[in-house]
Homo-oligomer: A and B are copies of this chain.
Amino acid sequence: MIRLHFSNILTEEIGENGISLLEIENEAKKSISLLSKKPYKELEFLDLPFQDISKIKDFGKKAKDYEYFIILGIGGSALGPKVLLEALSPFNNLRKEKKVFIYDNVDPATFKYIIEIIDLKKTLINVISKSGSTAETLASFLIFWKMIRDKKLDVKEHFIFTTDPEKGNLRLIANEYEIPCLEIPKNVVGRYSVLTAVGLLLAEAIGVKSEEILEGARAISERAFNENLSENPMAYLASCLYLMDRLKNRKVLVFLPYSDRLRTLSEWFCQLWAESLGKEGKGTTPYPSIGTTDQHSQLQLWMEGPEDKVILFVTVENHGFQEEIPEEFHNIEGLRYLGGHTLEELINTEQLATEMALRKSKKPNMKIVLPKINAYYIGQIFQFLQVVTSMAGLLYGVNPFNQPGVELGKRLTYGALGKRGFETEGQEVKNYLKKKGFIV
């Protein structure tokens, strides 16, 4: 089971920058009680570990037959699959026969390079969009659609859609052309969707067992409502992060895993936290970091910059690889101390030293410990962080499942591209482009 260390956020350890255990536990109890009322239907993500995955597994079997697997998706439709790929099949495209590309932007260069590498005849394209109207995803879908048809290939054999069970453009097209479909349940929103077909099909395609991911997540779902605080680390973490903002005005949350395989977990978490809580002037800025690398990049700022951060370490107890540092150059003092240790010892020691340095300097920090990196614990950390984020949203009193702030930009994009019904926005863009502005 994932564990949470939170001593270094307490007053007795870091003085006036800290908070008291009593404050934390009061807020933690409140977060559990708020969650127990199930105030949003979107909390259905808690039930995902108990879903029937037989259809996903069937599609996964089919996906195994293709040499190239491409995901077209962005935001919640891309970040979860990215984590699974990088955590559970690192260096996949250099080590494995099946190459996977997650195209989560509309960069024309990236598109061209991917096309250069793949062979369309051997490619399965998984288009992921809950609404079926995500501009970026549909734009690249349209290009692939035409390419597949131009090559006289069967669209039914080269596309799988992952989308809403009933509605949207992808559903319309699927019905007309008999494209195989997987569902994102109606009440599950994008950034909480990694435990649906969104993440699980990719997992199966690269040979990871979905059921193990879900088993890990289940252990968390079963504890989310547990009022016995010692069984509910999620409530502690939500409460600590909330209080660090509200009582101590610490508005930057550094998410800091010490493992290359968890690098994209930072990106996934940062979407989850930012979009769920950043509203009504509330929320904090989640910062995607990586250790030990960022000790040589960001640590200076954390130690001596503005007092506005909380550091959340994520460590891995057993990396599954040892790799001993040999005892060479015994005459050179600056090298001798390294010999005989392993890389695992070194990465974990550096984490510990950084944690201690922050504590000595009275900087609040906490630590999530993963026993190892495998499907089970990746499932656990996903659900763990989804529960923590929901709880934090309830403490802040915001709806952790909407994102009203992105609409304006979308409307202006529609206007600029000439979508019907957005003529006013189109005019606004034209006027803006006419302005000279200050340019140097």
Task: Tell whether A52 is near chain B: CB-to-CB under 8 Å.
Answer: no
Task: Tell whether A247 is near chain B: CB-to-CB under 8 Å.
Answer: no
Q: With a 10 A CB-CB cut-off, give which of A76, A259, A414, A439 has the most chain B CB atoms.
A: A439
Question: Which residues 289-329 of A sit at the B interface, judged by CB distance below 8 A?
Answer: 290-293, 295-309, 319-326, 328-329
Which residues does chain B contribute within 8 Å of A91, judged by CB atoms?
A: 113-114, 117
Task: Tell whether A153 is near chain B: CB-to-CB under 8 Å.
Answer: no
Question: Which residues 69-94 of A sit at the B interface, judged by CB distance below 8 A?
Answer: 74-76, 78-79, 90-91, 93-94
Q: Report how far A113 CA is from B300 CA in the complex, Å.
A: 30
Pick from B107, B283, B433: contact of A259, CB under 8 Å: B107
Q: Report how far A76 CA is from B296 CA in the complex, Å.
A: 8
> Digit string of A236-263 for contact with B (CB within 8 Å is 1, else 0)?
1000000000000001100000011100
Pick from B93, B112, B283, B439: contact of A305, CB under 8 Å: B283
Which residue of B has the minimal Cβ distance to A231? B440
Which residue of B has the minimal Cβ distance to A118? B94
Chain A: interface residue total (CB-CB under 8 A): 152
Pick from B99, B113, B360, B429: contact of A352, CB under 8 Å: B429
Given contacts A252-B285, A259-B107, A335-B169, contact A353 B304 (CB under 8 A): no
Given contacts A6-B440, A293-B104, A304-B281, contact A110 B90 (CB under 8 A): yes
Pick from B236, B283, B420, B435: contact of A337, CB under 8 Å: B420
Min C-beta distance of A140 to chain B, whole Å: 8
Task: Tell whether A39 is near chain B: CB-to-CB under 8 Å.
Answer: no
Task: Tell whether A116 is near chain B: CB-to-CB under 8 Å.
Answer: yes
CB of B146 within 8 A of CB of A347, answer no
Task: Tell whether A5 is near chain B: CB-to-CB under 8 Å.
Answer: yes
Q: Report how far A4 CA is from B439 CA in the complex, Å.
A: 6
CB of A275 within 8 A of CB of B297, answer yes
CB of B109 within 8 A of CB of A326, answer no
Q: Report how far A64 CA is from B181 CA in the complex, Å.
A: 47
CB of B305 within 8 A of CB of A279, answer yes
> Digit string of A343-368 for contact with B (CB within 8 Å is 1, else 0)?
11111011011101100110000000
Task: Tell whether A26 is near chain B: CB-to-CB under 8 Å.
Answer: no
Given contacts A142-B335, A297-B271, A440-B6, contact A346 B409 (CB under 8 A): no
Given contacts A281-B307, A353-B429, A439-B4, contact A346 B412 (CB under 8 A): no
Stoichiometry (number of copies): 2
Which residues does chain B contribute within 8 Å of A270, judged by CB atoms?
A: 297-298
CB of A412 within 8 A of CB of B259, answer no
Min C-beta distance of A421 to chain B, whole Å: 8
Which residue of B has the minimal Cβ distance to A107? B260
Task: Tell whether A49 is near chain B: CB-to-CB under 8 Å.
Answer: no
Task: Tell whether A122 is near chain B: CB-to-CB under 8 Å.
Answer: no
Task: Tell whether A333 is near chain B: CB-to-CB under 8 Å.
Answer: yes
Min C-beta distance of A422 to chain B, whole Å: 8
CB of A416 within 8 A of CB of B349, answer yes
Q: Report how far A350 CA is from B136 CA in the complex, Å.
A: 9
CB of A301 within 8 A of CB of B321, answer no
Pick from B284, B319, B412: contact of A306, CB under 8 Å: B284
Min C-beta distance of A433 to chain B, whole Å: 8
CB of A357 within 8 A of CB of B409, answer yes
Q: Report how far A16 CA is from B272 CA in the complex, Å.
A: 31
> Digit string of A130-162 for contact with B (CB within 8 Å is 1, else 0)?
001111101110110110000000000000000
Which residues does chain B contribute within 8 Å of A132, judged by CB atoms?
A: 334
CB of B275 within 8 A of CB of A300, answer yes
Which residues does chain B contribute within 8 Å of A437, judged by CB atoms?
A: 5, 7
Pairs across A and B, CB under 8 Å, 18 listed: A3-B440, A7-B438, A90-B109, A95-B116, A110-B261, A142-B328, A143-B325, A173-B332, A271-B296, A275-B300, A279-B300, A281-B304, A283-B305, A303-B406, A333-B420, A337-B417, A349-B416, A350-B413
